[in-house]
Structure 1
Amino acid sequence: MTGSLRTAFEEGPMSRFQWRAVAVCVLLNALDGFDVLVMAFTGKAVSTEWELSSSQLGLLLSAGLVGMALGALCVAPWADRIGRRPVIIGCLAVSAAGMLLSAFAQTAAQLGGLRVLTGIGIGGVLASSSVIASEYASRRWRGLAVSLIATGYGIGATGGGLLAVGMIERFGWRSVFLVGGIATAAAVPPALLWLPESLGFLLSRRPKHALEKINALARHMGQPALESLPEPTAVPSGVGRGFRELLSPALRRSTLVLWAGFFLIMSCFYFVMSWTPTLLVEAGLSSSQGLTGGTLLNFGGIFGAAVLGLLASRFVLRSVLMAYLVAMAVLLTAFSASTSALGAAFALAVLIGVFVNGCVAGLYALTATLYDTGVRATGLGSALAIGRIGSILAPTVAGGLLDGGWSAQILYLGVAAIFVLSAALFLLLPVADRPKAAVPAPAGGVG
């Protein structure tokens, strides 16, 4: 009977229950998109109020990413031990507290510390919610489901940009943090009500009331209830063993390639998303035009992740991701020469948003296909932590290079070269089969 339930999840058409689970994860990541990039949108106002140099602003931009690395590395692996759902809810509360307190920061050091705290919560939510989305999607639609997570991220970041444009001049930069904290806190009750626990986790870890929770999932999927739990499957018995499993002979090559890919691509992503609004202003645009350019990046990201997910349902995911990476290199090269032409810069900003967010969505989706349930959250969490190291370094290094006389154009060309290198790197990964079409639902139907 457990096999029938697994088949319903893996091979049947997506049910309303499955899509609802994915939708909750998208909502959570929309809030995270707002919370992560709020510093990019408020950076100019914060820098002006406290008279910060580019290097100091770069440190503030990196502070949230430091927290995200800690959350991904130290918190997310516990989702493989105590469950995805409790980790997500706890991290939501931490993120909400960090955002609310940031609105009352009096110094750059206080704001930096609170950005670290917020980032810890965001890191745990991003890794664990992506895992739930992948585990509740059918095999065919898994790439789309995980890509929609990045779509939610783009929606939240776009909303944050629009909010910043409208609020900073009227109410000051603190109001943007305040609204973000209230919205994140308001997401806790819906998560408690509608976010399900992973079936794979319930079967492998057998927490308290596991049978009742599995049977509740079976009812949602139109499957018969179990009378008893099946024999448990072997899973790593501790967080440390989960990390060692990632570097076992069977997974070592894929893990190392993923870690390198996350490091390079996340470095580029956060340079582009964090510095573009400020660099557009330094290129001669007004503050509102710079914020508009940053908002357009995130607006394009909404479509980039969704399109990548649809392409991944028809073509080999690795190939789709590599095409996105090469396209990014071409677009950044064009963008580096267009910042003085407002219309061209804004049009390219939308396209860059499409492809750069699609690149990150592809990384998430690719990771979900390479690890099984027992180490999936650990695998994604560790890859995200490696990526955060790059994303932490990128804004700070960029600030230092700008203070040292580097031009924005040279920085964008360097990032374009890194995207090409990343595309070549993924040639080392094995090529997965093309996605299979969904088969008819098993006996009993899918609700």
Structure 2
Amino acid sequence: MNLRELIDSSPMRGGQWAILIVCTFLNALDGYDVLAMAFTANPVSQEFGLSGTELGFLLSAGLIGMAVGAVGFGPLADVIGRRRTLLIALVVNALGLFLSATAGSMGELLAWRVVTGLGVGGILASATVLVSEYANVRRRGLAISIFTAGYPLGATLGGMAAAWLIANVGWHAVFLLGGILTVVSIVLVALLLPESIDYLAQKPTPANAKRAERIAVRLGHGEGAVLPEPVVDPSEGAGVGAVFAPRYRLNTIMVWITFFIVMFGFYFANSWTPKLVVASGMSEQQGIMAGIMITTGGIIGAVLYGVFTARWPARFVFAGFVALGAVMLCVFILSTDIIWLAFGSALLVGTLMNGAVSGLYTVAPNAYGPRVRSTGVGVALGVGRAGAILAPIIVGAFLDAGWTPTHLYIGVAIIVLFAVFAIIRIKPYVPSDDTRAVGTVDAPEPVIVRGA
């Protein structure tokens, strides 16, 4: 039996759980890094004398870097391998964090935040695919959900660490700690993460065949496992343009729409909630608590999504989380005068919106064949980051134009609902009729998430 079939059909083993844990740690670093600038906003503004606009550029710089990094590193991973690309991206990320800790001006910090974001974008593009490929079919949805839960977990724990570091050491230490943790992750990736099976299968050399044998032994499948036959699909091209090949065009458009809208709603809820609920009548402390409830709900939602996808089709669970998330955005903003209901609604907003992000990472890798999978996911992540970047800018503009918090939440909820229609149009990858595995008569079965 080939290694792809063994992984898909066998129970999850220790080596596979180790891969998941390392990748979840990488996603937690993403959560820490994204909020590192938010944690240090006040002391950085005071030290550099920043205006609100200048601070806004700093807050967006990392997200811009992530968008570019995801688009750039995704295609690279399909050429040189997911593991190698991941290590390069981690080095770039660590470099950006260490240099951020040395920044002596707003311009320097802005530049190093972009560099940091480039690395994070590359990390996510490769780690997402590795988690999907090394989980078996039964646990794939759960594995992606655990991976996604790393983000809010990293943000929560990072916030606690940052508060202590800023008070006792200074804001530079927040970035220094991030750099140290990234170096630790480089060691973990080098020691514990294997190369993508589907990538090795597309480059069938004797050396890659031996790598596959070693991977099989590490995962507890013993000797004798072979690489799946490489798939030759005439409808696929190479590079970013491959995701617009006729067979992928509709999927790509629907995946991009879904990523943009879900990330827009997710970052709106996470970034604007404390400010807007205060404008709706809550105290500042209550606004902070509402934000914490959303973050806490995010951890719950990521795990719940995985549990549900083990029982029901992934696409339908994804669509359900998005639809209910839109409803809860409305319930939340309409209940701010009833504190217990508002906090409960905030918890559900975080649960549903972060569960929806899990859906992105589950469905997107499934929409593309192995030759373009990292490219498809990487570019989609870049589009999603564009939604994350635009969310605070667009909402801020409407707020300045006189929109009330209620109008803003209901408006975003309506936008989020449109993602449901895109989700149900995304179809899992199936080899075309003229696709053949090299040297065989019949094409291999596609790697898909159960029920997707």
TM-score w.r.t. the length of structure 1 is: 0.87
1:423 matched to 2:382? The reply is no
The code of the aligned residue for 2:180 comes to I
Q: Is the Cα contact below 8 Å between 1:143 and 1:309 reproduced in 2?
A: yes
Q: Is the Cα contact below 8 Å between 1:276 and 1:290 reproduced in 2?
A: yes
Alignment match of 1:294 (pick from 285, 291, 295)? 291
Give the equivalent residue in structure 2 for 1:442: none
What is the alpha-carbon distance in structure 2 between the residues aligned to residue 289 and residue 280 of structure 1?
8
What is the alpha-carbon distance in structure 1 between the residues aligned to residue 233 and residue 84 of structure 2?
20
Alignment match of 2:303 (pick from 303, 306, 310)? 306
Which is further off, 270-279 or 382-391? 270-279
1:435 matched to 2:450? The reply is yes
Task: Give CA-to-partner distance per residue, 1:87-124, whole Å, 9 cap, x none.
Answer: 11121121122223223333333322222111111001
Which is further off, 253-262 or 225-234? 225-234
What is the alpha-carbon distance in structure 2 between the residues aligned to residue 284 and residue 163 of structure 1?
30
The code of the aligned residue for 1:173 comes to W
Q: How much identity, in percent, do the aligned residues show? A: 42
The code of the aligned residue for 2:99 comes to L
The code of the aligned residue for 1:305 comes to A
What is the alpha-carbon distance in structure 2 between the residues aligned to residue 276 and residue 62 of structure 1?
17
Task: Give CA-to-partner distance per residue, 1:15-57, whole Å, 9 cap, x none.
Answer: 2211211111111111111112222333345445555454443
**1:209 counterpart SS class:** helix
Residues 279 and 116 (structure 1), Cα distance of their counterparts in 2 relative to 1, 3 Å cut: farther
Give the equivalent residue in structure 2 for 1:445: none
Give the equivalent residue in structure 1 for 2:208: 210
Give the equivalent residue in structure 2 for 1:315: 312
Residues 110 and 155 (structure 1), Cα distance of their counterparts in 2 relative to 1, 3 Å cut: same
Equivalenced residues, count:
433
Q: What stretches of structure 1 of length at least 5 have no aligned partner?
A: 437-447
Task: Give CA-to-partner distance per residue, 1:51-107, whole Å, 9 cap, x none.
Answer: 545444333222111101111101121111111111111211211222232233333
Residue correspondence of structure 1 range 67-78 to structure 2 within 5 A: 67-78=65-76
Residues 76 and 311 (structure 1), Cα distance of their counterparts in 2 relative to 1, 3 Å cut: same
Q: In the TM superposition, what is the alpha-carbon distance from 1:290 to its structure 2 partner? A: 4.8
Q: Is the Cα contact below 8 Å between 1:299 and 1:353 reproduced in 2?
A: yes
Q: In the TM superposition, what is the alpha-carbon distance from 1:207 to its structure 2 partner? A: 6.7
Task: Give CA-to-partner distance per residue, 1:124-178, whole Å, 9 cap, x none.
Answer: 1111001000000111221221222111112111112223344444444333223
What is the alpha-carbon distance in structure 2 between the residues aligned to residue 334 and residue 415 of structure 1?
13
**1:373 counterpart SS class:** coil
TM-score w.r.t. the length of structure 2 is: 0.86
Alignment match of 2:39 (pick from 38, 41, 54)? 41
What is the alpha-carbon distance in structure 1 between the residues aligned to residue 417 and residue 154 of structure 2?
28
Task: Give CA-to-partner distance per residue, 1:383-416, whole Å, 9 cap, x none.
Answer: 1111122222222233333444444333222211
1:391 matched to 2:391? The reply is no
Residues 276 and 52 (structure 1), Cα distance of their counterparts in 2 relative to 1, 3 Å cut: farther
Residues 231 and 340 (structure 1), Cα distance of their counterparts in 2 relative to 1, 3 Å cut: closer
Residues 430 and 75 (structure 1), Cα distance of their counterparts in 2 relative to 1, 3 Å cut: closer
Residues 38 and 280 (structure 1), Cα distance of their counterparts in 2 relative to 1, 3 Å cut: farther
What is the alpha-carbon distance in structure 2 between the residues aligned to residue 420 and residue 230 of structure 1?
40
Residues 227 and 264 (structure 1), Cα distance of their counterparts in 2 relative to 1, 3 Å cut: closer
**Highest relative contact order (Cα 8 Å, sep 6+), 1 or 2?**
1
Give the equivalent residue in structure 1 for 2:112: 114
Alignment match of 1:272 (pick from 269, 273, 276)? 269
Q: In the TM superposition, what is the alpha-carbon distance from 1:296 to its structure 2 partner? A: 3.1
Which is further off, 320-329 or 48-57? 48-57
Give the equivalent residue in structure 1 for 2:191: 193
Which is further off, 117-126 or 164-173? 164-173
Q: Is the Cα contact below 8 Å between 1:50 and 1:108 reproduced in 2?
A: yes
The code of the aligned residue for 1:435 comes to R
**2:194 counterpart SS class:** coil
The code of the aligned residue for 2:332 comes to F
Residues 131 and 97 (structure 1), Cα distance of their counterparts in 2 relative to 1, 3 Å cut: same
Give the equivalent residue in structure 2 for 1:364: 361
Residues 172 and 415 (structure 1), Cα distance of their counterparts in 2 relative to 1, 3 Å cut: farther
Task: Give CA-to-partner distance per residue, 1:316-356, whole Å, 9 cap, x none.
Answer: 11111111112111221122234566544443332222111
The code of the aligned residue for 1:9 comes to I
Q: Is the Cα contact below 8 Å between 1:91 and 1:125 reproduced in 2?
A: yes
What is the alpha-carbon distance in structure 1 between the residues aligned to residue 273 and residue 43 of structure 2?
15
CA RMSD of aligned residues (A): 2.9
